[in-house]
């Protein structure tokens, strides 16, 4: 059973889900998405979200820069870190999910390119 199936099942049984339950699902999905990319923490503070990765391609992180322009800062000292400056009234969960989605795409493209050069 995936997240959509579970949401459908809850809707069938209980009707519309409260916003807090919807957000709980979004957080759980974000954590699963982050874990697959070796993200050990995501912290939001004062209009910024910081991601810390235990293992990630530096090249894939660098490809995020043009997507987020001046809103992104990268750190390669110790563990890799990415800090995203949020725009006013942006949905934090959506922005985090989008960033992780882009990172996954760039990582997969890089891996595919390495395989093709072998």
pLDDT in tens, 66-118: 998 889 999 988 888 999 999 988 889 999 999 999 999 998 888 777 777 76
Selection from 53, 95, 100 nearest residue 78 by Cα: 53
- Written as six digits, the tokens of 10 are 């809850």
| pLDDT confidence tier of residue 1, bands split at 50, 70 and 90 | low
The structure's pTM equals 0.82
Domains of the chain plus CATH, in order, are 3-116 (3.90.1150.50)
For 34-41, what is the mean pLDDT?
92
- Written as six digits, the tokens of 97 are 């999910």
Does 59 have pLDDT greater than 80? yes
Selection from 35, 40, 4, 39 nearest residue 22 by Cα: 4
The CA-to-CA distance between both ends of the chain, in Å, stands at 37
């Amino acid at each position: 059973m995936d997240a959509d199936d579970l949401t459908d099942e809850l809707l069938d049984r209980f009707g519309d889900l409260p916003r807090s339950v919807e957000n709980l699902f979004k957080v759980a999905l974000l954590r699963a998405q982050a874990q697959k990319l070796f993200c050990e923490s995501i912290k939001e503070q004062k209009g910024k979200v910081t991601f810390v990765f235990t293992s990630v391609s530096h090249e894939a992180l660098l490809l995020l820069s043009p997507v987020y322009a001046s809103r992104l800062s990268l750190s390669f000292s110790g563990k890799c870190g990415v800090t995203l400056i949020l725009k006013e009234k942006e949905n934090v969960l959506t922005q985090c999910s989008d960033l992780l989605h882009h990172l996954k795409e760039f990582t997969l493209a890089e891996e595919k390119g390495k395989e093709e050069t072998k």
